[in-house]
Structure 1
């Protein structure tokens, strides 16, 4: 677009400069020629009126020796000047019999060099400014040596014409540049439309919409790229579906033996006091590992359900009540604060997914970050903003985005019981609700998870 605009501006500028030089030179020469012709005609008429007969010895641009010519008696120079035609001349004046005669204009406004030149027998002209007006002064000898006839012709009309021409050319250059930008924009849009579609579809795939495909397989230029991209996306979708089915199948198969082991462990723990002292510690370690195993299976089931295309069920929920119940139950104590403007906010949500989001964040704070400092529900953003603060040391800035990946572990989380799927589930469920989640640092230290959800 910029290239088209610059090309149009360059071409129009060159054309404008050439047009200006040619037209301005032509108009100026035409104006000067007209002034010379009128001055010569008026000088000839004055000479005829003052001497009674025309003579061919009046020089215009060269010296001439006309001999001794006598003026007619009784002829008034001022009356003769008043009878001369004045089509566009601003003033006419004559130096005759060693005196200046003028109906308008002052002889002292004429340049001395021009007066001396014309009185010497050579015609000439000069540009000057009289009373703020630019004029062209033209002088021609009359008949006898020392006599001269002068007229000046205003250049206002010429200046106005040239000014209008200049404005028109500049406006045309700007308009041409804008048209060039518009044409460049249109051309680039048409040329890059398939790439824009490719970018859009690739972005959709990166955000989890693995069924997104390009419709440009028949495009002459991008058909091969579109087919390759669609094939890659299809293979990726099949791979993800296969992994989801595998994780789901494994998780389901593990549920039965897991429940058996958990029930057996619970029975053993109920009789822990009856066990020998050397056996108690291994039993406690086994219980912790079984609990970690249970959470892994539950998270895998949640991930496989989400990857498998589980659409869930939406219903109208009051956000404050849902968050308060999930957060307080997970923390085992009241940790939720609801702003007055958020008490009645509702949204279409999947209760199971939204409860899991809140529970996972509070559980993450309790297990890996020194405890949950508080959960806040307030209006704002897309509708409602939910924040979960912890009392931990915080998370390094370079890990703020990676923390939401599957099996991502930080130094603090690696010491806990988690397996790195909780926050990944949170991110997927928030995205399912057309919301956004961000990780920042609390002003007083610790991590702050902020969830922005659409609500009304």
Structure 2
């Protein structure tokens, strides 16, 4: 039972794909040379056969003219026909009655054809024809002479063509073998940079040494590939460095609250085991200690959430959508008031549509308001303004606090950075870093300046989405007072 042609083709394709690139290049080079040699030999063989045919026909015409001239002088019946020498030219005379004369000892020629008969009768011009004899093919030329005709023939000899073909076959095989060797050499030379690149990649994978640099060599595609891998290694180095810094900073930031929490919990456990909890810690002190524990747990929870959010980087499963940034600002302000009841937020927002991730934008705005709420005095609200400015959505959050020192401005968005004046306040130093990451991911920019009230002014510019004619949803000032 024969297999379908499609199955055989698929198996051949799978076999070919499993071969190495060096083997493929060798096979392709050998095949290309074999095809070229075959076509060249075919053309050369045809040209050789044509040249031999032309030479034989010219010789037959010349010999027939000599024999015809002699026949016209001596007559067809009396023209002398030398004995056949054993090889070479064959001749005969066709008499007017259709009979023939041949030299003595000459092999028998094929019968006179109908066309040759018409030449002898004078009704047709000279004729060159090839016919099959008993053993060999003949090339026969018929020429009108007197009242009849003369014929000169030659046995077609294919031995030169056969010898040429055999020679060309041997040369072709040598060319194919040489082509395969040349192809393999070229493949080895051409793929040497890739071999070195592979060895370097394997070495990096085994040693985990991301500081390795692959030398830039070659040109074209090889150079672009090496540059791409070097860029990838540089990106991995930066990622590992950022990860190491994040872990080190997280360890530093977590150690203090965890130590304080552990000491307080150990104190409660030790007093409880001794049965002196009530006597050693009056109700007021115990309440203060439990409140301190709750604040520390809340601080750790916030820090863990911010670390998780920051460690994700730009990776997020949240889809991008066109949304009204005013909705995000109002929701974040409401959330900030619920988290810190003492905060008061004054909103002056205008409907501006942007393309972004709702949760990420909400977190950034909430961090801005939380940061401003730490510094804003009790009698001064946090002012939040949103407006469209050209092709941007501009969000400004300012407070009436002491502002940010000029020395702290360059580092205000660094991870875990906290100014000396902020170390006594709650927080992890990650809030503004998360703001900058979210804004950068949305193609915007964030800056810090001093507000008109003397406090800090943080400004966020985001690309605005195309207007859809829906109008402005918010206008004027809305205040979310303290509880």
State the TM-score, normalized to the length of structure 1: 0.42
